[in-house]
Amino acid sequence: MAWHRVQIDLGDESVDAMMFADKSQLRVANVIEVGDSIKVDKKTYKVVSSIIDVRDNFLTLNLAKASKSKEKKSDDSKQVKG
């Protein structure tokens, strides 16, 4: 899997970051305050955890992946006369 370049929206400014292809992780320079959520490319993601990599002063944010909504299961107990 690969990383792709994204923009983090901080209100009046934006910061470049890298997002993992499955949108589960985000790497950004340690210049932002981390809250409960973060806005990336105009989409809001919930932040599950964050880790500071002191070797290069980058934040790695683990993001909650959106789950697919479950559709109502059809009732197969009713038989149709044919």
How much is the pTM? 0.73
Sign of the CA dihedral running 27, 28, 32, 38: negative
Q: Which H/E stretch holds residue 12?
A: none
Cα–Cα distance between 6 and 50 in angstroms, integer? 18
Asked if CATH classification 1.10.1060 holds for the domain at 3-63, the reply, yes or no, is no
pLDDT at res. 34? 87
The pLDDT score that the predictor gives to residue 64 is: 94
In this prediction, residue 77 carries a pLDDT of 58
- Phi/psi for 25 (5° steps) reads -135, 150
**How high is the pLDDT of residue 76?**
56
pLDDT means over runs of 10, the chain (82 residues): 90 93 93 91 94 94 74 57 60
CA angle, corner 43, sides to 27 and 2, nearest 5? 40
